[in-house]
Amino acid sequence: MSSHEDCPYALVKSLNTPAPISSLEFGHAGHIFAGSRDGTLRLYDLSSFKVLKAVRGLKDEISSIACLKRPETELRDAWVACGNHVYLFKMDTPSLIMTEKDAISSLKLTEDDDVLNEVCIALDKKHLAFTTDIGLVGVVELSTSSVTTMKERHASICSCVAFVPDRPRELVSAGYDETILHFDFPEGTTLSQHKISSSQAIEGMSLSPPFIMSTAMSANGVLAAGTADGQLWIGFGGQKGLAAKTKTKKARKWNGLSDQEKMVCTKVADGPLVAMSFSTTEILTASTLLGTIVQWKINGESSDQASILEELWKKEVTGMEKVNALVANDTKIIIGGFTKDEKGVIEIWDKRAIPQNTTAT
């Protein structure tokens, strides 16, 4: 494990907002969308750190953002989950500040006593998946706005959802029932599932249950999940490329939850893992609720359990009381949350440019 001083990222900018940050999403590498608890969406330019566009006056917290590229514009469209609705906003409009009435589409996906948690867009750009507080998992066919709800629901809050890469019919969800479910979403049927066990109590004190609070799916089909008791679970059974190396045919379905396939589950933090993101197929970054950022290198092909998960570095956020969101790409880590006085804050970390053939003083 590397020391804290070996972290290759440096804080380059802190951005403040009146209300806590509740969600983040890259537009493209130079733009970041930030949703707030007061129903405000902001689009920041990451070179100037200025707000390019904003949506104000949405009636609930913006719990999740999913971006969509259109060929004729550099600015990404944004699907925004807010209360029991999703809204589609196009950012290439003349208005700098938009409101609910400027949404291109508005869909009510849950009942009034339920709220949306996470939304995501399929790679084919034809489907949007969503999860809710009462444990529902659903998919919207965007061309028709028709909604398919999965036949099996989570027993508690469903916090996370992701489409499976290279599997046009499959998605996974996870929730506070400590369970990951794997669906054939056009049929609404369950293909597989996995339940995460509690970590052992320390010194006779019971830890938090292993509520699944965050997940991340790599581009090659590796699934990671973080729990309220600080466990990191990784399933490698659906990893693309392994079948070719073992000279077996491609499986009929993604096998990331199979007990017969490789998986690891280990305690990595003292607190909840509330957000995580793959920046490459091998690099996973996660944050605890109190702002400890950890990055690992993942080697699913290793036969040595100790080298499957290699901690690269660990570092604390600087001006944040609690973290709600994190996104990462190959050069940036962006963290959102709130300060002690309940104001919003975004920390933008960038990989340090280290001059060649020089010695640091």
DSSP secondary structure letter of residue 306: H
For the chain, what are the domain ranges? 4-24+111-197+208-351
- Model pLDDT, residue 54: 98
> Which residues of the chain have a pLDDT value below 50?
1-4, 201-204, 206, 243-247, 355-361
- Model pLDDT, residue 245: 47
- Model pLDDT, residue 359: 37
pLDDT digits (tens, 9 = 90+) for 59-111: 999 999 999 999 889 999 999 999 999 999 999 999 999 999 999 999 999 99
Q: What is the DSSP string of 77-129?
A: EEEEEETTEEEEE-S-SS-SEE-GGG-SEEEE-S-TT--EEEEEE-TTSSEEE
- Model pLDDT, residue 3: 42
Query: Across the strands, what pairs with 351?
Result: 9
pLDDT digits (tens, 9 = 90+) for 239-259: 987 544 444 566 789 999 998
C-alpha span between 216 and 223 (Å, rounded): 6
Say which CATH topology domain 4-24+111-197+208-351 has. Methylamine Dehydrogenase; Chain H (2.130.10)
Contacts 24+ apart (CB under 8 A), 1-4: 1/311, 1/314, 2/311, 2/312, 2/313, 3/313, 4/313, 4/314, 4/315
- Model pLDDT, residue 205: 52
The answer to whether the CB of 49 falls within 8 A of the CB of 30 is no
